[in-house]
Chains A and B, each alone.
Chain A
């Protein structure tokens, strides 16, 4: 499994953009990069995923480095509800791999949003 490195914690002010980095230098060429977040006292929820190109959805944007060794989750305007632990998870895209289907959560980044 690809190892990931994320900052332990980050802080932001409400209404400001937030850039959450993730290093995954050992990522396989076929691994997708997934992001999940976990709000306090809740189960994780899916945020976004991508392979090579930058991706956007209603929750966030995902910027993937050209060499794929790092990625950045972008929250365009942080709200208090975005305060959560954010997990970056490389995950194989091919069904034949032994780790397919099993999300591996690291410790993630604790995001604090100030009013």
Chain B
């Protein structure tokens, strides 16, 4: 199993540009999550999904959108990039909501200038 994969690994955006961060898991997990981690800080939950077609907001959802059309994929969309969105983004999945073990991807480092 590849586990949780994320693309791209790095990206530089100009203010106002849009992009989609891709996340795929091959463990057939129903639950998926997006977190962001600012320098020197812990992770904050952006959005999560309990299954295909069902998503909900986390702690810091503003400026982001998600969709979940398949069990495997959970893309995160930034519509109008702002410098405050400069961060490292992690996708995670788990067997069930609140599972003790969440599996994390390697992260996408995004810089908005």
- Measured CB to CB, the residues of A under 8 A from B are 32, 34, 41-46, 49, 87, 91-93, 95, 100-108
Contact = CB atoms under 8 A, between A and B. Distances in A.
Given A43-B107, A92-B98, A101 B31 contact: yes
Nearest to B104: A43
B45 interface: yes
Interface stretch (B12-20, B35-43, B64-72, B78-86): B35-43
Nearest to A97: B98
20 contacts: A32-B100, A42-B104, A43-B4, A43-B92, A43-B107, A44-B92, A46-B101, A91-B98, A91-B100, A100-B98, A101-B50, A102-B33, A102-B48, A102-B58, A102-B59, A103-B43, A103-B102, A104-B42, A104-B59, A108-B42
A101 B48 contact: yes
A44 to B, nearest CB: 5
A43 B104 CA distance: 5
A91 B40 CA distance: 22
Contact of A100 (B35, B90, B97): B97
Contacts, number: 60
Given A43-B90, A43-B106, A103 B45 contact: yes
B77 interface: no
A98 to B, nearest CB: 11
Q: From DSSP, what is the main secondary structure of chain A's interface residues?
A: loop
A102 B42 CA distance: 13
Contacts of A46: 100-103
Contacts of A87: 42
Contact of B104 (A45, A95, A100): A45
Nearest to B58: A102
B10 to A, nearest CB: 11
Contacts of A44: 43, 90, 92, 102, 104
B29 interface: no
B106 A42 contact: yes
Interface centre among A32, A44, A95 (most CB of B within 10 A): A44
Nearest to B40: A107
A62 to B, nearest CB: 12
